[in-house]
């Protein structure tokens, strides 16, 4: 099972950004990541300096958004939608995208639902509830 460290994730996104700027060939996963990097120019300075990125602390107490977590969540949601796991997420994501007329905005709404599901599971010491996650997305469509 793929289980990258936080440094691996940071190196991956920094390398994607480097390759993107150099017009180098990207793997399919890198191409997906590059699309999200393009949507987030506010993270480009961080992505441009891998050594600085590796040394940064994105603790909750620091109240600084973690661009690597954010971009990783975009990729995770893309994967969930592509395989329709949890079941129903593809239809819910499509409907939300149509409602908002903005795929990026829809992803951010879905991201909030994903974060809520993870937080609830951690708080309760239970497995993530995929059905509740999809229902939370559907509530944003109504």
- Structure-token pair, residue 37: 């990097």
Question: What is the DSSP track for 50-89?
Answer: HHHHHH----GGGT---HHHHHHHHHHHHHHHHHT-STTH
For residue range 15-33, what is the model confidence (pLDDT) as tens digits? 999 999 999 999 999 999 9
Q: Are 14 and 47 in contact (CB under 8 A)?
A: yes
For residue range 85-100, what is the model confidence (pLDDT) as tens digits? 999 999 999 999 999 9
Q: Are 43 and 37 in contact (CB under 8 A)?
A: yes
Q: Are 84 and 90 in contact (CB under 8 A)?
A: yes
> Taking residues 56-60, what's their average pLDDT?
80
For residue range 94-135, what is the model confidence (pLDDT) as tens digits? 999 999 999 999 999 999 999 999 999 999 999 999 999 999
Examine the pLDDT at 1 and tell me if it is beyond 50: no
Q: Are 32 and 82 in contact (CB under 8 A)?
A: no
From the list 103, 101, 115, the residue with the least C-alpha distance to 65 is 115
Q: Name which residue leads in pLDDT, 24 or 57.
A: 24
Examine the pLDDT at 3 and tell me if it is beyond 90: no
How confident is the prediction for the chain on average, in pLDDT? 94
φ, ψ (nearest 5 deg) of residue 41: -65, -20
- Structure-token pair, residue 94: 């499509």
């Amino acid at each position: 099972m793929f289980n990258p460290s936080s440094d691996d994730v940071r190196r991956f996104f920094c390398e994607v950004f480097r390759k993107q700027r150099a017009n180098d060939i990207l793997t399919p996963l890198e191409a997906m990541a590059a699309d999200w990097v393009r949507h987030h120019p506010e993270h480009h300075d961080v992505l441009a300096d891998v050594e600085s990125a590796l040394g940064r602390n994105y603790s909750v107490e620091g109240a600084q958004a973690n661009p690597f977590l954010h971009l990783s969540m975009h990729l995770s949601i893309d994967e969930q939608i592509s395989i329709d796991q949890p079941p129903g997420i593809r239809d819910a994501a499509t409907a939300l995208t149509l409602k908002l007329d903005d795929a990026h905005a829809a992803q951010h709404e879905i991201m909030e639902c994903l974060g809520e599901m993870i937080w609830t599971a951690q708080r309760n010491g239970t497995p993530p509830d995929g059905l509740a996650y999809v229902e939370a997305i559907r509530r944003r469509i109504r």
